[in-house]
Amino acid sequence: MSDNCRVSEALYVGLCDYIGTPTEVAIRREVMDMREMIIKPLQIHEGQRVMYSGSLREGFRFTSSDVDLMYWCTNHKVITDLSQSSFYDLSKHSIILMEDTDTPPGFARLHLLASPRIITFASSLVRFNDRMYLSNSKWRKIMLTWIKGKKSYSSIKYHGPCANSFMGCVESDHVLCLHCSYWPKLTEDWRKRCALHNWPPKHVLEAILKHGCHLVPVGSKILPNENEDELEWRMSFSLAEQKLVYSMNHTQFLCYGLLKIFLQEVVNRDIEEPFLCSYFVKTTLFWLIQIGHITWYPNGLLNYFWKCLKFLLESVYRCVLSNFFVPQNNMFASKLATVEGVRQSSPFQKR
């Protein structure tokens, strides 16, 4: 056995102790899933769903991890085609059409087709081309105002589409989003790619497609017209990502955790506004699991870590990191203006 294999196996054991064994991670996930299953009927009755996402839901328990929560109203129905409106009762539901033909890839405008049923909903509308659309900035303000009304939260501010706050020393991100039961047409290539590479497994893919996606209130920030950017909503695949992480074997999950640790403790250490985030790490791992032609075993953990790091490094220097679900969406696009600064200050800088 090579030294690399021995070090990888020792690293695997150490990470099992630090991040969790397969059994510990499975129990954490089952507890979160059970909690959601129990509370879901009550939430549906009250007309608002709440879902945990991010590291906590995936099975990590880092002390530095924040809590991510997604909220959406069940009587707001987003459709991708006008024919789908026939499936809903207009007397009970607000119907919103997702328009993504003339927006940056991975973003859409939300066109209201029927009168809003909630006052806060109506206050978030703006007129564009003689139609009524949802404003992402006004929608974000709803969540920020709600969080400010809770005395238990402090240091409240915007963080992308979220309202960021602290409850004691625990950081949390709250986002008021919209749920869509249908997948955008832009993701058709992703579905074909999954079938071609047989990852995720067929039953996981079917479960992902069954539960749809979300839209969160933030624009691409690459349009010259700020008014149009206000109308853009980013497609979010948080639930799909959670199921993809669940489908990983433990070597893949530990590699993901190791990358998150390295990003926080080395790459982004003492950087106030880092260029790279944990979502880029997750995307990197998804790509390499699906098309990396890697057989994931504990004795190769160190090698897999360096493969992922090299992939991310090359993405930074090419200024391109394609979204896993919508590859046309370059997730670095809104940060391209700062790339030169990143190159100069990054620990990845070529010597």
How far is 95 from 97, CA to CA, in rounded Å? Answer: 7
Give pLDDT, residue 341: 44
Separation in Å, CA 245 to CA 4, 250, 292, 334: 26, 10, 16, 26
* pLDDT at site 339: 46
Where would I find the beta strands (DSSP E) of 107-189? 107-112, 125-128, 131-134, 154-159, 162-167, 170-176, 178-180
218 and 299 assigned to the same domain: no
Residue 297 and residue 160 in one domain:
no
- Of the residues 241, 257, 290, the one at which a domain ends: 241
Q: Indicate if 314 and 284 belong to the same structural domain.
A: yes
Domain at 86, CATH number: 3.30.460.90
Q: Which residue, 192, 208, 241, sits at the end of a domain?
A: 241
- Say whether both 309 and 271 belong to one domain: yes
Any idea which residue has 């087709």 for tokens? 113
Q: What is the pLDDT of residue 343?
A: 44
Contact predicate 161/216, CB 8 Å:
yes
Low-confidence ranges of the chain (pLDDT < 50): 337-351
Q: Is the domain of 174 the same as that of 321?
A: no
| CATH, residue 340 | 1.10.1410
The reply to whether 315 and 205 lie within a common domain is no
Nearest to 240 by CA among 24, 5, 57: 57
161 is in which domain, residue-wise? Answer: 47-241
Q: Which of 241, 272, 287 is the last residue of a domain?
A: 241
Same-domain status, 297 and 221:
no
Asked if 292 and 309 sit in the same domain, the reply is yes
Report the pLDDT value the prediction gives residue 271, as an integer from 0 to 100: 87
Closest by CA position to 335, among listed 221, 189, 211: 221
Same domain, residue pair 252 and 237: no
- pLDDT, tens digit, for every residue of 72-127? 999 999 999 999 988 898 888 889 999 998 899 999 999 999 777 777 788 899 99
On whether the CB atoms of residues 110 and 96 are closer than 8 A, the answer is yes
Pairing assessment for the beta strands 76-79 and 154-159 based on DSSP bridges: unpaired
pLDDT for 227 equals 67
Torsion of CA 28, 45, 95, 82, to 10 degrees: 70
| 118 and 64 co-located in one domain | yes
**Cβ(11)–Cβ(301) below 8 Å:** yes
Task: Kindly state whether residues 29 and 58 are assigned to the same domain.
Answer: no
Number of domains in the chain: 2
Q: Do 147 and 272 belong together in one domain?
A: no
